[in-house]
Amino acid sequence: MKREMVLNVNGEEHDVEITPDRLLLEALREDVGLTGTKEGCSIGVCGACSVIVDGRLVSACLTLAVTCEGKKIETIEGLARDGELHPLQRSFVQYGGFQCGICTPGQIMAAKALLDHNPTPSADQVKEWMSANLCRCTGYYKILESVMAVVEGKVDEERRDEAVRQARIQSLYQSDTYKSGASD
Amino acid sequence: MKAKFEYLAPASLDEACGLLQEHQGDAKLLAGGTALVMWLRMGLLSPGFVIDLERVPGLDGIDYDPADGLRIGASVKHRDLELCPAVREHYPLLRETFYKVAQPRIRLMATVGGNLSHGDPMTDPGASFMALDAEVTLRSSRGERTLSVEDFFVDYYETALEPDEILTSVRVPPPAGPAWSHVKFTPRSEEDFATVGVAVTMTGEGNRCDDVRIALNSVGPSIFRAHAAEDVLRGRELTPARLEEAGAAAAEASDPIEDVRGSSDYKRELAAVFVRRAVEQAAARLG
Ligand SMILES: Cc1cc2nc3c(=O)[nH]c(=O)nc-3n(C[C@H](O)[C@H](O)[C@H](O)COP(=O)(O)OP(=O)(O)OC[C@H]3O[C@@H](n4cnc5c(N)ncnc54)[C@H](O)[C@@H]3O)c2cc1C
Ligand code: FES
Ligand code: FES
């Protein structure tokens, strides 16, 4: 039996009609239409589907959407404000915290959940926490560096030759998909 | 998860017990969901009703009292237990064990009650609770009963829970002494399930063991206590030969299945090695 319910995602209320077996991951991507949250393993291992529910990091692939009624759900789409990227997003861009990008929404939501609770974790605490998010591309070091740059207030510092930086960002983001803000 | 179920969210323990009794055999309790949702998803379970425990009051909270010990509500998350100051101070074995479960995200979701009730022989906390002589309290509309964690684990994914019962809390006696150890061997990756897990508590002095409890996970159809290994050590000097003997006795009691983590012979040998090492580590903490 489908039931109507409201999901509060990134401060906005979304009416959805779902069966109780609907995963939060499916509800977000298919019913709400926010495809930033990714599906990797579907069994809680990889962290690609990491979102924050009532302040707690969860795997959306192991969460039933019905259990989220009345709760605050945060996803990657809620991070940028007024066209300005969240410091974690800027940091991942500036410090090369991603390559293919499939794991990145999960990485950033995981890092956000940590920093929301503890804005000044040690590098070891970040490593331990982020161990729950797998990445097949970066070798992890740059993810650590990106998160630590936020912790240490080093985002937006001119750490590389500006021209090189611009070229890199352009080559990463010149597709139209990115400009329209949609991705999947 | 194509078989559809109805989702129920009771607001009291009595209501939850009532629903479970009403739909006996056709209902599953939902705690953190880290095991249940996956099982529903894979079609291993297809209940008509899923009863969410999240809104049931009284199942949360960790209370410590020097005389009574520790009481852990079934809905307490792994992460909250691991970070609880009283647990860190008085039950370092529990802290260590829960810290080693999966990774932080799963520990934020998974509950203590869900972990034990799942009856998965690969899970870690059961062995440590056994080594600490913990008890579980089970509640149904028929009443309440208490049994040792040792008796709670019955077989492969089978516990002593009747279909109408809810595990409400775990009680751990006051800490008997400082000597304990926990070994989780995870050769594939740090956050994997254990290839073998061993929990030990011990009392004694110097190199003499007065009493000892040894429990193992991942090397049998159920989490179990290695009584024969304990008997080798209890009231004796911990000589290298006795440690070998205890390891061999634990291996004898194990019955591991072959899987991606190794053959059953390999795991049986590991059980001997890691019981010996775990006992050594506990003994090093004797006063
Ligand atoms: C990626 C991953 C890695 C993991 N690694 C480890 C590991 O290293 N070590 C380890 O020990 N475990 C590990 N686990 C298993 C994990 O510990 C269990 O999935 C978890 O503890 C189950 O708790 P839950 O609250 O999510 O229970 P649920 O999934 O909600 O429930 C599990 C079962 O218990 C029943 N149940 C739940 N609560 C109660 C109750 N109060 N009374 C009666 N029955 C109840 C449910 O009906 C269901 O059958 C891992 C799991 C995942 C997904
Ligand atoms: S898709 Fe959810 S953890 Fe991998
Ligand atoms: S950037 Fe490709 S998997 Fe992480």
Residue B184: inside a domain: yes
Q: Do A20 and B5 touch (CB under 8 A)?
A: yes
Average pLDDT over residues B6-29: 97
Contacts 24+ apart (CB under 8 A), B277-280: B277/B183, B277/B198, B278/B181, B278/B182, B278/B183, B278/B198, B278/B199, B278/B200, B278/B214, B279/B181, B279/B200, B279/B202, B279/B212, B279/B214, B279/B233, B279/B238, B279/B243, B279/B246, B279/B247, B280/B238, B280/B243
Task: Determine the angle formed by the axes of helices A104-117 and A141-151, rounding to 10 degrees.
Answer: 40
Position A182 pLDDT exceeds 60 = no
* B257 is a domain residue: yes
Would strands B6-8 and B49-52 be described as parallel, antiparallel, or unpaired?
A: parallel
Both B196 and B94 in one domain: the answer is no
Residue B148 scores a pLDDT above 50: yes
> CATH number of the domain that B244 lies in?
3.30.390.50
Question: According to DSSP H, which parts of chain A are helical?
Answer: 24-26, 87-94, 104-117, 123-130, 141-151, 162-173, 176-179
For chain A, list the domains and their CATH numbers.
1-78 (3.10.20.30), 79-175 (1.10.150.120)
Per the CB < 8 A criterion, the answer to whether B203 and B284 are in contact is no
The pLDDT-based confidence of B177 (bands split at 50, 70, 90) is: confident
What pLDDT sits at residue B118? Answer: 98
Chain B residues in contact with A23 by the CB 8 A cut-off are 37, 41
Residues B80 and B166 grouped into a single domain: yes
Which residue's CA lies nearest to atom 4 of ligand 3?
Answer: A135
pLDDT for the residue numbered B1: 46
CATH code of the domain in which B19 resides: 3.30.43.10
B16 and B87 share one domain: no
Query: What is the number of the ligand 3 atom nearest to the C-alpha of A137?
Result: 2
Q: How many CB atoms lie within 10 A of CB B13?
A: 16
Last residue of one domain, picked from the residues B139, B172, B205: B172
Nearest by CB to residue A47, choosing from B1, B54, B105, is: B105
Residues B242-255 have pLDDT tens digits of 999 999 999 999 99
**CA-based nearest residue in chain B for residue A109:** B105
ipTM over 0.90: yes
Q: Does residue B78 sit in the same domain as residue B134?
A: yes
pLDDT > 70? residue A155: yes
Residue ending a domain, among B172, B189, B217, is B172
Residue B112: what pLDDT? 98
Q: Please check whether residue B220 lies inside any domain of the structure.
A: yes
> Which residues from A are below 8 Å from B55, CB to CB?
none
pLDDT at position B4 over 90: no
Total structural domains within chain B: 3
Evaluated on CA atoms B101, B105, B106, B109, the torsion sign reads positive
Question: What confidence category does residue A181 fall into, taking pLDDT thresholds of 50, 70 and 90?
Answer: very low
Q: Which of B1, B53, B105 to mutate to test the interface with A (most CBs of A within 10 A)?
A: B105
Q: Say yes or no to pLDDT of B168 above 70.
A: yes
Average pLDDT, chain B: 96
Which position has the higher pLDDT, A169 or A60? Answer: A60
Residue where a domain terminates, one of B142, B172, B202: B172
Lowest-pLDDT choice from A58-62, A63-67, B187-191: B187-191
pLDDT of residue A24: 98
Does A132 contact B105 at a Cβ distance shorter than 8 Å? yes
Computed over its alpha carbons, how large is the radius of gyration of chain B? 19
- Contact status of B52 with chain A (Cβ, < 8 Å): yes
**Alpha carbon nearest to ligand 1 atom 49, residue:** B118
Cα separation, A12 vs A70, whole angstroms = 12
Q: Which residues span the domain enclosing B203?
A: 179-283
pLDDT tens string A13-56: 999 999 999 999 999 999 999 999 999 999 999 999 999 999 99
**One domain, residues B156 and B258:** no
Amino acid, single-letter form, for residue A128: E
Same domain, B210 and B258: yes
Residue B57 maps to a domain: no
* Calpha distance B235→B212 (Å, rounded): 9
| Residue B143 and residue B208 in one domain | no
Nearest neighbour of A57 by CB, restricted to B41, B105, B191: B105
Buried b (16+ CB within 10 A) or exposed e, A127-138: ebbbbbbbbeeb
